[in-house]
Amino acid sequence: MKDFKINRRKMLQGTALAGAGIAAPMVLTSRAFAASYTNEPKGGTVTLGFNVPQTGAYADEGADELRAYQLAVEHINGEGDGGMLNTFSSKALKGNGINGKKVVYVTGDTQTKSDAARASAKRMIEKDGAIMITGGSSSGVAIAVQGLCQDAGVIFMAGLTHSNDTTGKDKRANGFRHFFNTEMSGAALGPVLKNAFGSERVAYHLTADYTWGWSQEGSIKKYTEELGWNTSAAVRTPLGAGDFSQYITPVLNSGADVLVLNHYGRDMVNSLTQAVQFGLRDKQVNGKDFAIVVPLYSRLMAQGAGENVKGIFGSTNWHWSLQDEGSKAFVKSFGQKYGFPPSQAAHTTYCQAILYADACQRAETFRPSGVGAALEGFKFDGLGNGPTEYRAEDHQCFKDVLVVKGKENPSSKFDVLEVVEVTPRKQVEYPAELLGGELGPYNDGA
Amino acid sequence: MTTSMTKSDLLLLLCFAAAVLAGPVLLAPIGAGYPDLLQKFAIFGIFALGFNILFGLTGYLSFGHAAFLGVGSYTAVWTFKLLSMNPIPAILLATLLGGLFAAVIGFVSLRRTGIYFSILTLAFAQMSYNLAYSVLTPVTNGETGLQLAQSDPRVLDIAFGRDYGAVLPSSDLFGISMTGYPGFYFCGVMLILCFFVSMRIFRSPFGMMLRAVKSNQNRLNYTGLNTRPYALAAFVISGMYAGLAGGLLAVTDPLAGAERMQWTASGEVVLMTILGGSGTLLGPVIGAGAIKYFENIFSAFNEGVLVQAYSFLPEGLQHVMVWISSLFVGEGWHLTLGALFMIIVIFLPGGLMEGFNRIRAWITGRFGGGGGSLAPAAAE
């Protein structure tokens, strides 16, 4: 041990200066003379990495995302019926892969844990040679993987991540998000909640304790308090808690008359089911009917919660019952392959894969800076959300937001949500500076 | 530490060092020769080596070692943020804080033995996890995990005139980036050093005392010897190993998340040690490698890979085989690991090392046996 210490000290003293001297040119050379970029596809194929939760609280969403990715790969390679490629406003993709290379893919399990997700993404980049990573069904994971992709020099196409931070305070140049965020959810939900419940309400928040939960809690508070609502308490619950009864009991005696569930996936299914079982919805508080709001809704969750979702408001990025050409084509194509309609998670990941492929084709390269430039400010239509724009300032898509409600009389087990209002894009738009953060420069890697 | 090493120990150390440094080449044929997994092998090897000093030698089964790993990671990331992106201060402080934290927890937990000790450590680790997850969010950034930011102070880097420009910095050892293969070699050298220290502890009088604690603590106490300082020393040393491992995790990937401290992570290191063979020198490293290999490689097999693997079979049979195998790969990798663990614990209670030793004994037995039967024949 003694020898080791002396060596280390000597090394510290001796190499501190030399090291600093060596450092600068090494950084310079590795950047300046590297003509290629990370995982530049050399053969006849290009590898995409699909990193989704296959276990844990968001496993259902993850499974649906993977189905959508597989469908997107088929369509990009010219197999199947082409799905939304036929309705997509950009016609760059010819059904022969991307830039003439056939698309292949690798998959990984994020386990809804940042560490596992990064390990899985690293494997795809280092071992499998993935040129782009996409997926994630949790904002914590998406942010962690986005940071990794920035460091490694590959593009990250975020999947289902709803936190403001993904394209706000933690945004990165190599990261792009098609999904909407809590700021947009709040802006869209506010007026609808006012119409339905009035402006004198007391809200109680139960919040999943991580970046997305905090973000959504903040946004909903901001917009409901603008309406004149009060917030009695906001309680944080651990992700994947399973049993929420200990958190729901205090709601009964809090004097609140609206419960806001900032939960997603199985957490939302469990907390909503338990809230209904505890009789919250049959109660009268402050002379008003007790109400429950689930700001971020999905068909998968509504299906999981069954009867309990009837009449409950929320917002969603996309719903399969939309009647535009793009949505119809996607539902048909997905339904033919898997036998049931796609969820919003499937929709956003499908779109992300198509948008990435299209951007590479238009840029005629896979180089991250080139692909990014092709995505920045890109305006498109025909992917199910109406006219949409990838904003250059924060790499966030702007489009209409759907406010939905649990259907009172569902006609099938998939028909559980009805669209209450399509909030136009300009109502949910906000200046990019509002959420802070810094994109920084693109990283093409070595 | 004046006693010189025996020849066989020196040979073992040299072979181990050669095997570690040649890892990228040796492990490439089984699909594990890429930097991230190699780094994980080395880091969790260190973690398991340290755990083995406690569990393998003294027999104290700690279910809370992930807490020290987590402390090491958080310390290292904070060192990056506040001092310098150089990994050396980071791992030194991570080791130190891991040890300090272990001293505190060990001081309380070691008042009990057996299952009570295990439960106490588990409780402490779970408390640390919950603290990191929500209460200490300003320090740990909760579930999102502690990350670097461009605006971090990094006072030492600034004092030495190191500017990272507009990009998010990554850790580097005097200009050598700690990601990819250089990161692995850094961890690999640490692993070899840790292996050396562990070997010296195994062979020292102190190690003998720890074994005595394991075999009969009461008897030691009756001889008038206070065993607790020995147990505490072993606990702190293994805590330092865990802190170092946590620090290295942050060095190769500057992010620290609370899930590193979860009880499943503590359980994992127990599995690694038992799988490889607790109380043996090499076992824990092999166990750590086996589990990380399963986690990273088996979990990545999807249906497409399986269909390809069974493409030589007729179609009907292919579907059946794919269906059966898909239970054990992809998200089912835990199932494979569980089955493997059961088989090893039932048939090879000494872990994989017992398996190797049996094979060696069988081989030498055959050769030795052959020689033995020849000798009398010659005497006739």
- pLDDT category at B294 given cuts 50, 70, 90 is confident
The pLDDT of residue B166 is 62
The pLDDT of residue A8 is 54
The pLDDT of residue B173 is 78
Higher pLDDT, B324 or B225: B225
Q: Strand pairing of A379-380 and A388-391?
A: antiparallel
Give domain limits for chain B: 31-300, 301-372
Distance from CA of B194 to the nearest CA of A (A): 11
A54–B142 C-beta distance less than 8 A: no
pLDDT (tens place) for every residue of chain A, 446 residues total: 444 444 555 544 544 444 444 443 344 334 444 458 888 888 899 999 999 988 877 888 898 999 999 999 999 999 888 889 999 999 999 889 999 999 999 988 888 888 888 888 988 998 889 999 998 878 888 988 998 898 888 999 999 999 898 998 888 999 999 999 999 999 999 889 999 898 889 999 999 888 888 889 999 999 999 988 999 989 988 877 778 989 998 888 888 889 999 998 888 889 999 998 888 888 888 888 889 999 998 888 888 888 888 888 999 999 988 899 999 999 999 999 999 999 999 999 999 999 999 999 999 999 999 999 999 999 999 998 889 999 999 999 999 999 999 888 888 888 888 888 899 998 999 998 888 888 888 988 86
* pLDDT tens-digit readout, B7-32: 889 999 999 999 999 988 888 888 88
Q: Name the residue with tokens 């719903």.
A: A319
Quote the distance between the C-alpha of residue A190 and its chain's center: 21
For residues B197-213, average pLDDT: 93
What are the C-alpha distances in Å from B52 to residues A225, A395, B120, B280? 56, 48, 19, 8
The answer to whether residues B216 and B199 touch, using CB atoms and an 8 Å cutoff, is no
* pLDDT tens-digit readout, B66-101: 999 999 999 999 999 898 888 999 999 999 999 999
Q: Strand pairing of A45-52 and A102-109?
A: parallel
Q: Name the residue with tokens 């930097």.
A: B35
Tokens standing for residue A408: 């009172």
The pLDDT of residue A23 is 43
| DSSP-assigned letter for residue A256 | -
- Which ipTM was obtained for this model? 0.75
What are the C-alpha distances in Å from A390 to residues A267, A373, B309? 31, 11, 41
User: Which residue of chain B comes nearest to A237, CA vs CA?
Assistant: B134
A238–B134 C-beta distance less than 8 A: yes
- pLDDT category at B369 given cuts 50, 70, 90 is low
Could you tell me which residues are beta bridge partners of residue A316?
A402
CATH classification (class only), A183-316: alpha beta
* pLDDT tens-digit readout, B31-47: 888 888 899 999 999 99
* pLDDT tens-digit readout, B101-125: 999 999 999 998 889 999 999 999 9
Residue partners of B186: CB distance under 8 A and separation at least 6: B87, B173, B178, B248, B251, B252
Residue partners of A153: CB distance under 8 A and separation at least 6: A37, A38, A174, A368, A443, A444, A445, A446
Could you tell me which residues are beta bridge partners of residue A207?
A236, A262
B88–A12 C-beta distance less than 8 A: yes
Distance from CA of A420 to the nearest CA of B (A): 33
Q: Which residues of A321-331 are buried (b: 16+ CB within 10 A; e: fewer)?
A: bbeeebbbbbb
Mutate to test the interface with A, among B144, B157, B251 (most CBs of A within 10 A): B144
Residue B176: list chain A partners with CB under 8 A.
26
Return d(Cα A214, Cα A376) in angstroms, integer. 28
* Short-list B47, B214, B223, B210, CA closest to B114: B214
Q: Select the residue of B143, B167, B331 nearest A440 (Cβ to Cβ).
A: B167
Mutate to test the interface with B, among A38, A146, A151, A239 (most CBs of B within 10 A): A151
Q: Is B22 helix (H, G, I), strand (E, B) or coil?
A: coil
Torsion of CA B89, B94, B99, B104, to 10 degrees: 120
Is the pLDDT reported for residue B281 higher than 60? yes
Q: Select the residue of B37, B168, B330 nearest A150 (Cβ to Cβ).
A: B168
User: What architecture is domain B31-300?
Assistant: Orthogonal Bundle (1.10)
Is the pLDDT reported for residue B304 higher than 70? no
Q: If one looks up domain A45-180+320-398 in CATH, what number appears?
A: 3.40.50.2300
Return d(Cα B191, Cα B17) in angstroms, integer. 9
Segments of chain A assigned to CATH 3.40.50.2300: 45-180+320-398, 183-316
The answer to whether residues A315 and A296 touch, using CB atoms and an 8 Å cutoff, is yes
Residue B145: list chain A partners with CB under 8 A.
114, 140, 144
* pLDDT tens-digit readout, B216-243: 888 988 999 998 999 999 999 999 999 9
